Chain A
Amino acid sequence: MWYVLAGLAAGIVSGMGIGGGAILIPALTIFLGINQQNAQHINLLYFIPTALIALRVHKKNDNNEKKGLLPLILWGLPGAITGSLIAVKIDANYLRKGFAIFLLAMAFYEITKGYQKWKSQRSNHSKTSSKKPTPTEK
């Protein structure tokens, strides 16, 4: 049951395209005690049907950008092959630590992005409400 719930939560985030795996893998390893490699392959496999169905919805909303898609995938493939070959061979503990650092970097990025969005939203708002333009730093 917890597996389904973890999948549901991660699926919502995945469908929005902001990295459900980043939620699913910690959930699986921390709360359900699954080892790092297993959590990673669960995430990869779970992602296939989830992304397929999310893409269908996006297609209906016409959110897809076709241009540049294929070369991105083609250049991604050698990276993906190398990365997963390393992941399969490496010690689970190191992988877990590496993943945690990766997550931390992502967390930092997301929070700064959110902060910037908030700031620009607020300055836009104040620009429209007051006539006097405020000098912006950047």
Chain B
Amino acid sequence: MKFVPVPIICINYAASAHYKRMKNENSKKIIPIGLVVGLANGLFGAGGGTLLVPALQKFLKLDTHKSHATALAVILPLSVISAFIYIWGVDVDWKVVMLVSAGGVCGGVIGAKLLNKLAGWWLNILFGLFLAVGSVRMLFA
């Protein structure tokens, strides 16, 4: 626990060095976006991408498909570091992890291929309804 601030400071130093070099409108928005997305992703173990996709679209003006792919690339390292902290903090059931990952890898390929083919309002509605049902069940279960 004592050593946690050290990497944070190093990382922030590197980030601010980058920030100084960029000097445009977008770079200012990157800081809160990055911090909030990282925090949510670490705290809830999920959802960073869901936050990041609209943020990329709205503030960095990326188009829809690009922002989805970019969100993946950003969330990946954040998930790696969060996963390390979880492994250190809680007991990991490796068997379940393997099983879920096996399904996830296949699904990941399918999803990434589908992204270019289908997108649309119904996908958002369907996904939103699923989340609503899930959240209500989790609140009252």
Residues of A within 8 A of B (CB): 3-30, 34, 37-55, 57-58, 61, 63-65, 68-89, 95-104, 106-111, 113-118, 121
Give Cα distance in the complex from A12 to B125, angstroms: 16
Output the residue of A8, A23, A25, A41 with the most chain B CB within 10 A.
A41
Residues on B with C-beta less than 8 A from A21 are 44-47, 49
Which residues of the other chain, A, contact B66 by a CB distance below 8 angstroms? 63-65
- Quick one: given A47-B75, A73-B74, A108-B128, are A15 and B34 in contact (CB under 8 Å)? no
| Inter-chain residue pair count (beta carbon < 8 A) | 434
4 closest Cβ pairs, A-B complex: A11-B107, A15-B111, A21-B46, A83-B42
Q: Is the Cβ of B138 less than 8 Å from the Cβ of A81?
A: no
- Contact between chains at A71 and B76 (CB < 8 Å): no
- Give bound CA distance, A134 to B56, whole Å: 31
B49 contacts A7, CB within 8 Å? no
Chain B interface size band reads 35 or more
Partner of A111, one of B49, B67, B116, B132: B132
Q: Report which B residues bind A (CB closer than 8 A).
A: 1, 4, 7-8, 11-12, 14-15, 18-19, 22, 26-27, 30-31, 33-50, 53-54, 60, 62, 65-83, 85-93, 96-97, 99-116, 120-125, 127-132, 134-139, 141
